[in-house]
């Protein structure tokens, strides 16, 4: 085994373990994660097979195929994160709005409606 293979396998194992440990995700998600890591290990240990798949898809080298998919995956993940961030900011907005309305300071004498006193006296 080449040193780089060992590094990559240890790295992916670390990612998988932290995913399983830190995220209380659904069983299906965990299985998908596990499957992805198994595929990763297989392509790390037998890189020549990625080239076979690449040829099937019309790409010259397995490394290139993985690179393309990496780009696609990253873009997808970014959009997912952006959407999540937006959802969170909307929730935060609602929370802050709720607090602002709940804790409104109404000065003594603040009007609830246009006061009759503002009407001209002679009318």
Binding site for another protein (CB under 8 A): 86, 89-90, 92-93, 96-97, 99-101, 103-120, 123
Q: What's the farthest any 2 CA atoms get from each other in the chain?
A: 100
Q: How many CA atoms lie within 13 A of 107 on its CB side?
A: 3
Residue (21 or 123) nearer to another protein, CB = 123
Contact predicate 53/62, CB 8 Å:
yes
Residue (48 or 122) nearer to another protein, CB = 122
Number of Cβ within 10 Å of residue 31's Cβ equals 11
Residue 116 Cβ, how far from another protein at the closest point, in Å?
7
Tell me which residue of 37, 43, 41 sits closest to 17, measured CA to CA: 37
Cα angle vertex 7, ends 48, 31, to 5°?
75
Residue (74 or 93) nearer to another protein, CB = 93
Residue 85 Cβ, how far from another protein at the closest point, in Å?
12
Residue 94 Cβ, how far from another protein at the closest point, in Å?
10
Residue 76 Cβ, how far from another protein at the closest point, in Å?
14
Residue (1 or 116) nearer to another protein, CB = 116
């Amino acid at each position: 085994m080449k040193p780089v293979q060992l590094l990559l396998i240890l790295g992916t194992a670390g990612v998988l373990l932290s995913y399983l440990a830190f995220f209380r995700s659904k069983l299906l998600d965990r299985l998908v994660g596990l499957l992805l890591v198994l595929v990763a290990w297989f392509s790390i240990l037998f890189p020549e097979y990625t080239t076979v798949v690449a040829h099937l898809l019309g790409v010259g080298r397995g490394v290139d195929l993985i690179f393309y998919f990496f780009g696609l995956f990253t873009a997808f993940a970014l959009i997912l994160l952006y959407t999540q961030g937006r959802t969170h900011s909307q929730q935060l907005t609602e929370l802050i709005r709720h607090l602002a309305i709940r804790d409104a300071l109404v000065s003594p004498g603040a009007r609830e409606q246009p006061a009759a006193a503002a009407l001209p006296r002679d009318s």
